[in-house]
Amino acid sequence: MMILPVLSGKTFNHNRRFPTPPRETYFDKNLIEADLGTEVGKAAVGGAAAGLLHALGLTFWFGEGSQYLKQQAAYRIPFFAGITTAFIGTRVASAKLREKDDAWCSSIAGFVAGALIGLRTGKPVRVAYSSIGLGFLAGFADNNIRIARRVLPMKHEERMQATYAALASSHPRDPFAERWKEICDRGEGEPYVEK
């Protein structure tokens, strides 16, 4: 009876007193506690799979035969595996060295992976462009994902309160509010109350 749910990738917990905890995703992982060897191994396998898919896609797109596929696979698989390994390895290592799991880890990893991508051209300018560009992009994406995962589960009212609190902390003085308080203290205005 439990065979179909297992085959379909779904598991049903019939005991309602102890619900099944949600699965940990890649973005929930704590990089400081992560095992560097395991993460690098998973990245290498994922990168090699991506490289093989890329080689297959190129072969199909250009309508070439098996010889072309072997040539592309021999180049793409190590390249993709190396880039993903460098990115994930640097990300985990920087988190462990800095003892902080934040968007800067992704920026550092993107810088290293971008430099490796730029090294293929052999031109220092392209190495600089790709490392700075990928470092900025990786940090920006990681930061936005962290914000979205923190804010999206909130209700609309909680989200707005958190936004106003962040704005208030970044701009402590509100001249309009101070002036309106002075007017209300003199009895010339009534405080605004939301209905």
pLDDT classification of 109: cutoffs 50, 70, 90: very high
Show the tokens assigned to 32: 């400081």
Using DSSP's 3-state secondary structure scheme, residue 71 falls into helix
The mean-pLDDT minimum among 116-125, 135-144, 150-159, 165-174 falls in 165-174
Non-local CB neighbours of 68 within 8 Å, separated by 6+ positions: 58, 59, 62
HEC-encoded secondary structure of 135-174: HHHHHHHHHHHHHHHHHCCCCHHHHHHHHHHHHHHHCCCC
Return the higher-pLDDT residue of 30 and 8.
30
